[in-house]
Structure 1
Amino acid sequence: MRGPVFVAIDVADVAAARALVASVAPHVGGIKLGLQFFCAHGAAGVAAVMAGCDLPLFLDLKLHDIPNTVAGAVASLAPLAPSILTVHAAGGAEMLAAARAAALPATRVVAVTVLTSLDDADLLAAGVSDGTAAQAARLARLAQGAGLDGIVCSPHEVAAVKSVWPAGLFVVPGVRPAGSAVGDQKRVMTPPQAVAAGASVLVIGRPITSASDPAVAAAAIAASLA
């Protein structure tokens, strides 16, 4: 990778997505496309956005279903050759193993632990009483045991998990440059803090894509990590 920052292209329009990719490509390490774009345009839209772009693709679909269905979905995505693909750790060990088995060898399958829009109170309301850190660690162990390549977690959990899974790939959203609006994220750090904590990949969307000049915003973040 050219750098740890993967920019989240969270738009529904192909032309807008292509323009954003062209603007930020010199300053980032990869491109993330997620549910909003995929539901609007599917695999053909992803291929159109990535055409001519030499950056790795992070396909953030957070697959979560029975093992056979997830395996079939992962196999169907193979023509897009994603560098990183997400599934939900809560789908269980069998589902995680099925996803890894169905993916291309070069695709790193990572399991989403606890969304960065959730905090301890949200988990308690869902029946998880011991908090985000404990739940992220629990699901990380499940993913590691199922043979996945890594996890998605907030920057607040990454150091503890990396200490017991040093070879894992740690994809970290909830990253906000100093002074940026937090928005709907509840567990955040700045890019340098997240890298220091052990993040492998920083997922950054709105601070770049909603900036008046996305290229300048991406370049500033890259400079903060130099």
Structure 2
Amino acid sequence: MSNPIYLALDLPRLDAAIALAKKVKGHVGGLKLGLEFFCAHGHHGVHEVAKVGLPIFLDLKLHDIPNTVAGAMQSIHVLEPAIVTIHAGGGRAMMEDAKAAAGEHTKVVAVTVLTSLDDSDMAAMGVGGSAHDQALRLADLAQEAGLDGIVCSGHEVGAIHKRWKNGYFVVPGLRPADGKLGDQKRAVTPRAARDAGASVLVIGRPISRAEDPVAAARAIEATL
């Protein structure tokens, strides 16, 4: 079984990101490059990180009208990402066009409810029901749109997995049992997410900001 851990490399300096990726390469299965990284380093930065030799997950969370998102998806073909994120909140037509425009070997997954949001945030935005309910609704919509899978918290992945048996499930906001939550409101441990059906475990600060990133990555890997 391949390593499901994708290290979030959202560091401001490209050289530091590449150095960290090389250091932990033997203990993670892929590298996640988010909006902060992409805005700072663009296509060049992605190409340089790809030289490390691990699959690239472009976490861009595209969200716009269908034509614009399809155009953005086509513009990153050359980067050959293994995974790209869009927002399920963009609607079915947007998701369908994004998938149609994606590269043949790229998995397109839709973000349901950010792990920094909880039920009170749903209410403040006028969304009926809980964060859990909203994640399930958007997961159903993503499946109907023909996407490969979704992004959700570890709290929802088990329920969604039961409804979407062959889905590809990306779970961010993970923290080791003794880790600090930071800005995450719906975090679980990597092992709990994996046991519930997660395909990919996105882990950032518990590794990237650890005193010994290699030891931290190895410790998390050992729990899986």
Aligned to 1:15: 15
Query: Hey, what's the Cα distance between the residues in 2 that align with 1:107 and 1:26?
Result: 23
Aligned to 1:220: 219
TM-score (norm 2): 0.98
Aligned to 1:33: 33
Displacement of 1:22 in angstroms is 0.3
Q: Over aligned residues, Cα RMSD in angstroms?
A: 0.8
Query: Hey, what's the Cα distance between the residues in 2 that align with 1:176 and 1:160?
Result: 20
After superposition, the C-alpha distances for 1:134-155 in whole angstroms (9 at most, x for unaligned) are 1000000110000000000000
Query: Hey, what's the Cα distance between the residues in 1 that align with 2:220 and 2:122?
Result: 31
Displacement of 1:202 in angstroms is 0.5
After superposition, the C-alpha distances for 1:122-172 in whole angstroms (9 at most, x for unaligned) are 010000120111100000011000000000000000011110101000000
3-state SS of paired residue (2:53):
coil
3-state SS of paired residue (1:111):
strand
Query: Hey, what's the Cα distance between the residues in 2 that align with 1:88 and 1:114?
Result: 9
After superposition, the C-alpha distances for 1:180-224 in whole angstroms (9 at most, x for unaligned) are 110000001111111111111000000000001111110111011
Aligned to 1:110: 109
Q: Which one-letter code corresponds to 1:181 in the other structure?
A: K
Matched ranges for 1:39-58 at <5 A: 39-51=39-51, 53-58=52-57
Conserved? CA contact 1:89–1:139, under 8 Å? yes
Query: Hey, what's the Cα distance between the residues in 2 that align with 1:183 and 1:189?
Result: 13
Q: Are 1:74 and 2:89 matched, yes or no?
A: no
Query: Hey, what's the Cα distance between the residues in 2 that align with 1:123 and 1:24?
Result: 37
After superposition, the C-alpha distances for 1:64-101 in whole angstroms (9 at most, x for unaligned) are 00000000000000111000000000000000000000
Q: Which one-letter code corresponds to 1:31 in the other structure?
A: L
Q: Among all aligned residue pairs of Structure 1 and Structure 2, give the percentage whose two residues are the same amino acid.
A: 60
Q: Which one-letter code corresponds to 1:58 in the other structure?
A: F
Aligned to 1:132: 131
Aligned to 2:175: 176
3-state SS of paired residue (2:166):
coil
Aligned to 1:145: 144
Conserved? CA contact 1:2–1:28, under 8 Å? no
Count of paired positions: 224
Query: Hey, what's the Cα distance between the residues in 2 that align with 1:58 and 1:20?
Result: 16
Query: Hey, what's the Cα distance between the residues in 2 that align with 1:207 and 1:165?
Result: 30
Which consecutive unaligned segments of at least 5 residues does structure 1 have?
none
Q: Where do 4+ consecutive residues of structure 1 move more than 3 Å?
A: none
Displacement of 1:46 in angstroms is 1.0
3-state SS of paired residue (2:131):
helix
3-state SS of paired residue (1:12):
coil
Query: Hey, what's the Cα distance between the residues in 2 that align with 1:146 and 1:166?
Result: 16
Which consecutive unaligned segments of at least 5 residues does structure 2 have?
none
